[in-house]
Amino acid sequence: MVLIIVWLALFLDFTLLTVVVPIIPSFLYNQHIAEMNNSVALKQPKALPPTAFPDIPYSTDGQFTTENTTRTEGFEWRNTTEAPIVGLKTTAASVDCSKNDSFLSDENVRVGLLLASKAIVQLLVNPLVGPLTNRLGYHIPMFIGFVILFTSTIMYAFVNTYTLLFIARALQGVGSSCSTVSGLGMLANQYTDDKERGKYMGIALGGVALGVTIGAPFGSVMYHFAGKSSPFLILAALVLFDGVLQLYILQPTKIVTESQKGSSLLELLRDPYILVAVGSLCFSNMAIAILDQALPIWMLKTMCVPQLYLGLAFLPSTVSYLLCMNLFGIVAHKLGRWLCSLIGMVLLAISLFTVPLATNDYYLILPMCGTGISIGMIDASMIPIMGYLVDIRHVSVYGSIYAISDVALCLGFAIGPSIGGAIVKAIGFPWLMFIIGVMNIAYAPLCAFLKNPPAKEEKMAILSQDNAVNANLYTAESDIQDFPMTEARKE
């Protein structure tokens, strides 16, 4: 049941993370258009009553036109009604795209800062949550995360200004930090065998994958057909259900401290092998964070797609991510987690290079599938390996190490959207994809250092003792099972 609770908490957190991706740019854009229309309506001069000029019909190329002339202060307005000309058609989409390029460029920065606010706050809170789990256990911080996440979801549903949306996004970062660090630490503490831990971590991270998979398309469809509040109210109901499960199963009222004191954050951050894993998570997720922020606006500028398609564009990426997270949770242990991560970073770079080549939304399918597969390979490899590094090189207490892994993810999601909007405005979306791709290719070879990380001598001694105890227990059990058979032969 603990696995189910962690899976559900991660699923809801990452669904809320991505459900806003297609909604926020479109919502702010529609607000901007409404404000422009209101300002134009207010600036129009007030018309005086019409003069006594009669309406004179006349014919132009076989079409009747009527003119109604109205005099105003200093102006003469003509209201002309003409029969429609067959074959002449105006498209609002093309007009909108051509007239609002400057706003969309500025919106890149605003949307980027809003999306990054969650990761920045989470980045600041994670170092506090890790040690907190060592003192209080994992259950109480996880329940605190539920309360904050529920509050944030309700705010998303009912606020309509940029400032309040920014606050809701930042508040989500606090709840996400509590839920993610506590959930992953709880799983690592329960499943101590490396192979078993990788398997169940892959299942739990499948909740992340599914949340990312359905978040953007779900938000896009619900926003298009039922309005802004509808997806958030549905998510709020599911978050409430998760909170009831936590109360019933985890009973987060008891303080359960760790039996041994874990390594400090600074000690873990001085470990070069942990830093390699942190860098892999950071650079790869930075690419996805930039895509989340910049791709919808780039599609609005270059393809003029309806708002419904802004979320559906992420569907190939998220579906492939969901499949790979579950697959590589098991396969990465056999192939080598370092190798899966290295291949994933190279594949991610190639996918980013091809995204700007798409001329319509259908051509985005293959590059987006590549990004999903690569991120699935990296996350399924690096998150379990961080628990393994603590086991062989530090004290086996997992709150701080998964606070660091969450910091790595948050760094990517904070730095990416923060600088991505400014870079797009300065040199364009294609160059941004090229820069992020080159960064991932340049970092990928460092994953080879994780092939055989050395264990510390004292940890090797402890592991040898554990193996000896397990061998003695196994031998004793075998002797007990063989003893009755020996007696039976003597008789």
Question: How confident is the model over 361-412, as pLDDT tens digits?
Answer: 788 889 999 998 998 888 888 888 888 888 888 877 777 787 788 788 878 8
What pLDDT score was predicted for residue 348?
93
How many degrees, rounded to 5, is the angle at CA 135 between CA 134 and CA 141?
80
Among residues 43, 160, 128, 105, which one has the least CA distance to residue 421?
A: 105
Distance CA(303)–CA(97), nearest Å, equals: 9
- The 10s digit of each residue's pLDDT in 51-100 is 444 444 444 444 444 444 444 444 444 444 444 434 333 333 333 454 45
Distance CA(402)–CA(410), nearest Å, equals: 12
What pLDDT score was predicted for residue 421?
74
Using CB atoms within 10 Å of the CB of residue 214, give its burial: 0 to 12 exposed, 13 to 18 middle, 19+ buried: buried
What pLDDT score was predicted for residue 99?
46
Distance CA(405)–CA(233), nearest Å, equals: 30
Distance CA(255)–CA(454), nearest Å, equals: 35
Angle separating helix axes 337-354 and 315-335, nearest 10 degrees: 150
The two tokens of residue 159 are: 């606020």
The answer to whether 277 touches 382, Cβ cutoff 8 Å, is yes
Give just the sign of the alpha carbon dihedral 184, 188, 191, 194.
Answer: positive
DSSP string, 117-173: HHHHHHHHHHHHHHHHHHHH-SHHHHHHHHHHHHHHHHHHHH--SHHHHHHHHHHHH
The answer to whether 393 touches 459, Cβ cutoff 8 Å, is yes
Q: Which residues of the chain have pLDDT under 50?
A: 48, 51-96, 98-99, 463, 466-491
Tell me how far the alpha carbon of residue 64 is from its chain's centroid.
58
Distance CA(478)–CA(73), nearest Å, equals: 106
What pLDDT score was predicted for residue 440?
93
Q: Name the DSSP class of 447.
A: G
Query: How many residues are recorded in the chain?
Result: 491
What pLDDT score was predicted for residue 350?
94
Distance CA(327)–CA(197), nearest Å, equals: 14
The domains of the chain, with CATH numbers, are 2-33+96-457 (1.20.1250.20)
The answer to whether 146 touches 239, Cβ cutoff 8 Å, is yes
Amino acid at position 189, single letter: N
CA distances from 23 to 17, 119, 334 (A): 11, 18, 40
Q: What's the whole-model pTM score? A: 0.65
Grouping H, G, I as helix, E, B as strand and the rest as coil, residue 65 is strand
What pLDDT score was predicted for residue 412?
81
Q: Phi and psi (nearest 5°) for 72? A: -125, 180
